[in-house]
Structure 1
Amino acid sequence: MGKTMTNYKNPIVIERADPWVYKHTDGYYYFTGSVPGYQEIEVRRAKSLNELENGERASVWDAHATGPMSSLIWAPEIHLIQGRWYIYFAAAGTDEVAKGTFQHRMYVLECDSENPLTGKWIEKGQVKTAFESFSLDATTFELGNKLYYVWAQKDPAIPGNSNLYISEMQNPWTLCGKQTLLSIPEYDWEKIGFLVNEGPAVIIRNGKVFITYSGSATDENYCMGLLWADAESDLLDGYNWHKLAEPVFRSSAKNQLFGPGHNSFTRSEDGENDVLIYHARPKIVTEGDPLDVPDRHAHAQVFSWSDNGFPIFGEPGIDND
């Protein structure tokens, strides 16, 4: 395989946690992620992953001065759905914690142009779920002419900070039908510091829908888990989903990459390889709240597939092509 096309100069983007990459048919990689200070949404684009750090960039939306979209703008994702650009993100009205969680809700922006860096972004409002509580890290995917939404949310009846859910969408900003619980923090590695399942990302391969997600606190204990279902099954039936008992991607002290997670997926420049995009820290946080330490950088890493069709992510810092 073309090593020259997958020799990534990591980190590919400095100080951008929760990195999201969308490879478009126009030849550009579109990138967004959490901006330190958590007060704006930025979009970048470049013809290669290595060029994103110094590529075109634009600040496309700013937090409101007051109100529910004024604080802690987290984890934006840019998607092209039915010919239009959308950005999903979480925002809060305060940076205070209440009853063990922040106060985020999920929102959507829509772009009126083919170029998301120069077009006008329109607020489509909050994505309403079955209950009103801490919610964040939404992603979408299309399968079988249906649009699905996967996200993290606190259920007041379930201990912990957040669980993973899936629902069908009526349109890119409205859920419809039932919402299904996919996963709760149940294993020890999902419950270090905080009981967390968050940051879902979807990749459909080998007849299966795979969802990676992140667990535990955002320090060196942050790591990735894996869910999967058969692509032909009813994805809103929780019994069709399976969960690995062990993490699939975790800190590498040898390579000085700590707390890898909140990933997305893309393809290599030559189209030959699947690429994991994730954030990681170069050192363990020893002082202060890890959320306030802006050293989570975006990395790109080729990964492979096992004979039975499952992803092999390997170790952070080691390409697997």
Structure 2
Amino acid sequence: MTESAPLIKPLIEQRADPYIYKHHDGYYYFIASVPEYDRLELRRSQTLAGLAEAPGITVWRKPETGPYSDLIWAPEIHFIDGTWCIYFAAAPSREILDNLFQHRMYALTTTADNPQEGNWQLAQVDSGIDAFCLDATSFAHRGERYYLWAQKEPGIPGNSNLYIAPMDSPISIVGKPIRLSIPEFDWETVGFAVNEGPAVIARHGRVFISYSASATDHNYCMGLLYADEDADLLDPASWHKSPQPVFQSCHQRGIYGPGHNSFTVSEDGERDILVYHARTYTKIEGDPLWDPNRHTYIKAFGWSDDGMPVFGSPAEP
């Protein structure tokens, strides 16, 4: 495979699983996985470009031991009913693990006006399935709040599926988890059989869930689920799945493995912005998990005449 020099620059280097939230205080808040997987670091800026130089404030650091003392992954920051909430996944100390991937989901909450200065409280978010789980997000639709995440379910082949459940608080779900998607297409099962990293955007009469699939090398790519805005979002039959990836590596211009995205909007609120990570090479030394060079990129995207997102290429500025 021929490596190509990328033509675009990342917004922030060495930040994977990026999440950007625009708050009503006029600030963008940025959080992502750091290469050390040991802390939660929060930036804020009144512009998207300003996030690149904004100082990263550590709002929480993992303990040395215990059930959430290793591999701090994929944080997201949300503001729910007056409470700031950071969702993340964490594993027990590696010294006591037979299997490295034993993550469970956690949440930090604070009611501080500025979350960079908050006094955070920690709680575990119980998915209802006692198995590897991660990549939680939350969204509200038609007056209901939902929790959406990736999980290994015993008895189902593969590494992770997508699940949804209603919430009765920012840190708890009610009812039985509903499975929405499993890795089934060839492009979802390269290296690992994965559906993970869900993100939600509602436009043009539909609710869309983007997600990421396959191993976290150059095969990593994004898929799409969508449902009518009036449908029962807890009914798997309401959701349709794109048979092809909607965002994937650009080998011609050297942007590889784009995925684990989130959505935000431009400063004027007129443009939808895709936030994602990617690498600029394919020849990863050792385990891709420990390669630090998944960088945060952003790009504006549009919509087709029939109301579907058009993400284009990750190599587009």
Q: TM-score, structure 2 length as denominator?
A: 0.95
Task: Please give the secondary structure, in 1, of the residue aligned with 2:175.
Answer: strand
Distance 2:98 2:280 in 1: 31
Task: Please give the secondary structure, in 1, of the residue aligned with 2:187.
Answer: helix
Distance 1:144 1:293 in 2: 41
Which stretches of structure 1, 4 residues or longer, exceed 2 Å deviation after superposition?
A: 94-99
Q: Which residue is 1:220 aligned to?
A: 218
Distance 1:47 1:253 in 2: 34
Task: Please give the secondary structure, in 2, of the residue aligned with 1:80.
Answer: strand
Distance 2:186 2:98 in 1: 24
Q: Which residue is 2:303 aligned to?
A: 305
Aligned length: 309
Structure 1: gaps of 5 or more residues: 1-8
Partner AA of 2:142 in structure 1: G
Task: Please give the secondary structure, in 1, of the residue aligned with 2:284.
Answer: coil
Instruction: Check whether the contact 2:223–2:242 (CA below 8 A) recurs between aligned residues.
Output: yes
The answer to whether structure 1 residue 256 and structure 2 residue 254 are counterparts is yes
Partner AA of 1:86 in structure 2: C
Q: Which residue is 2:199 aligned to?
A: 201
Instruction: Check whether the contact 2:256–2:282 (CA below 8 A) recurs between aligned residues.
Output: yes
Structure 2: gaps of 5 or more residues: 1-7
Q: Which residue is 1:139 aligned to?
A: 137
Instruction: Check whether the contact 1:135–1:153 (CA below 8 A) recurs between aligned residues.
Output: yes
Q: Which residue is 2:64 aligned to?
A: 65
Deviates more, 1:55-64 or 1:274-283: 55-64
Aligned CA RMSD, in angstroms, stands at 1.3
Q: Which one of the candidate residues 280, 283, 288 is aligned to 1:282?
A: 280
Partner AA of 2:236 in structure 1: G
Distance 1:172 1:64 in 2: 23
Distance 2:41 2:216 in 1: 22
Distance 2:284 2:118 in 1: 42
The answer to whether structure 1 residue 52 and structure 2 residue 37 are counterparts is no
Partner AA of 1:39 in structure 2: D
Q: Which residue is 2:76 aligned to?
A: 77
Partner AA of 1:25 in structure 2: H
Q: Which residue is 1:29 aligned to?
A: 28
Distance 2:252 2:177 in 1: 41
- C-alpha offsets along residues 140-189 of structure 1, whole Å, 9 cap, x if unaligned? 00011111000000011100110000000010111102221110000010
Instruction: Check whether the contact 2:18–2:260 (CA below 8 A) recurs between aligned residues.
Output: yes
Distance 2:252 2:9 in 1: 15
Q: Using a 3 Å threshold, how does the CA distance of structure 1 residues 68 and 130 change in structure 2: closer, same or farther? A: same
Residue 98 of structure 1, CA deviation: 5.2
Residue 118 of structure 1, CA deviation: 1.0
Instruction: Check whether the contact 2:284–2:291 (CA below 8 A) recurs between aligned residues.
Output: no
Task: Please give the secondary structure, in 1, of the residue aligned with 2:117.
Answer: coil
Partner AA of 2:62 in structure 1: A
Instruction: Check whether the contact 1:220–1:251 (CA below 8 A) recurs between aligned residues.
Output: yes
Distance 2:289 2:94 in 1: 12
Task: Please give the secondary structure, in 1, of the residue aligned with 2:85.
Answer: strand
